[in-house]
Structures are given as C-alpha cells and as structure tokens.
Amino acid sequence: MEKRVFLVHGWEGKPDNHWFPWLTWELRSRGFEVYSVTLPHADEPKMSEWIPAIKDVVGRPNKDTYFVGHSLGCAAIIRYLETLPPKAEIGGAVFVAGFHQDLGIVQIQDFFQSSIDLEKAKKHSNKFICIFSDNDKYVSPNQSFEFAKGLGAKMIMEKDKQHFMKSEGVDALPSVFQSLIKMSSQ
C-alpha cells in the first residue's frame, strides 16, 4: 500500500507555503503520495470548516497515512484525530511549531473553545514528532514543549528557525523529511 502524507498549513497559510513544496518534491521522489490540503478561509479559520476539509481529502486513514502540520495546522490535525472512530489508526504525524492551547490570538480562538483532547488523539498513533524553534515569536518553546509532552512525542529543537516560514528564510526543513522517512519505515 502507498504511504500517503497530508500537509496541513496554518492560519493565513496556503498549500504551497514555506517548505511544503520542497518537502513534497523530496517525498514524491521517494514514492510517497503527497497531498497539500487547501483549507478554507485561512485568514479567518473555523474548525467547523477545516476539519471536514481534512476529512474530505484524507478519506479513510490507515497505518500508511501520515500528517505534517505547521502552526495552527497542528491543532487542526489533532482536532481531526479527535473525530476518528476509536479503532482508526494513522501512521503518525510531524508537528512543526505546534501548540494545543489558546495563544490569545482572536482570529484562531475558534479552535480552542473547548480543550483539545491529546489522549484521544494518541489512541490513533504512538508516532508523533514535534519540531520547534528556540526563537519562535508566535509559539514559545514552552508551548511547543507542553504540546509534545502531552502527546508523548519525540522533540526536535531547531536553532534560529523562528516560525519556520519562507519569509524568515526557511524554504527547506530536512528534520521533517528525515522524521517522516524514519517514522514510515518502522
């Protein structure tokens, strides 16, 4: 069965943002099917729109289904996992600049009206990796650490990558690629 990877952008994001094109090329050249999810109204994200959009693209997940999220895309993936039937499983997920608690940003508060249930999400996989930067001005290393700890995820701290955006000089992210290759071969 083909290994499928779904890239989930964040607030104000697009499917071809930042390092997604580079990652797509790297993964496809190694036989992965890669889908970059287009989420509606990225400037004013609504959980009620984003989660069905992810479900529509993914269809039925299985152990060969992987996710990569950036920023709010990480919370969207967890919210998606919360909706899966109890026995559904995925191969794993790599979260970049991830968080699971309200950051006080009005435009994204819809995702945090209720607490995110990390335990429920963990029932669908035990392979999670969180990548964060030591100088992210939007998501503090502490917030990323708490997210990773709650998931029991492996953590990778990058130096000076800020919020992992192209405008900050990040258009390739080898740690995501290497994490997916390792995760999918176990």
Q: What are phi and psi of 125, to 5 degrees?
A: -170, 155
**Residue 175: predicted pLDDT:** 97
Asked if 65 and 38 count as a contact pair (C-beta separation under 8 A), the reply is no
**Residue 109: predicted pLDDT:** 92
- Where exactly are the structural domains of the chain? 4-184
Residue range 46-65, pLDDT digits in tens: 999 999 999 999 999 999 99
Asked if 91 and 64 count as a contact pair (C-beta separation under 8 A), the reply is yes
Over residues 103-128, mean pLDDT: 93
**Residue 24: predicted pLDDT:** 97
**Residue 163: predicted pLDDT:** 97
Nearest 10 degrees: Cα torsion 160, 162, 166, 168: -70
Over residues 125-147, mean pLDDT: 95
Over residues 102-113, mean pLDDT: 92
Asked if 39 and 53 count as a contact pair (C-beta separation under 8 A), the reply is yes
**Residue 33: predicted pLDDT:** 97
**Residue 1: predicted pLDDT:** 66
Residue range 13-45, pLDDT digits in tens: 999 989 999 999 999 999 999 999 999 999 999
Length, in residues, of the chain: 186
SS (H, E, C) the chain: CCCEEEEECCCCCCCCCCCHHHHHHHHHCCCCEEEEECCCCCCCCCHHHHHHHHHHHHCCCCCCEEEEEECHHHHHHHHHHHCCCCCCCCCEEEEECCCCCCCCCHHHHHHHCCCCCHHHHHCCCCCEEEEEECCCCCCCHHHHHHHHHHHCCEEEEECCCCCCCHHHCCCCCHHHHHHHHHHHCC
User: What residue type is 82 in one-letter code?
Assistant: E
Q: How confident is residue 186, by pLDDT bands cut at 50, 70 and 90?
A: confident
4-184: in CATH 3.40.50.1820 = yes
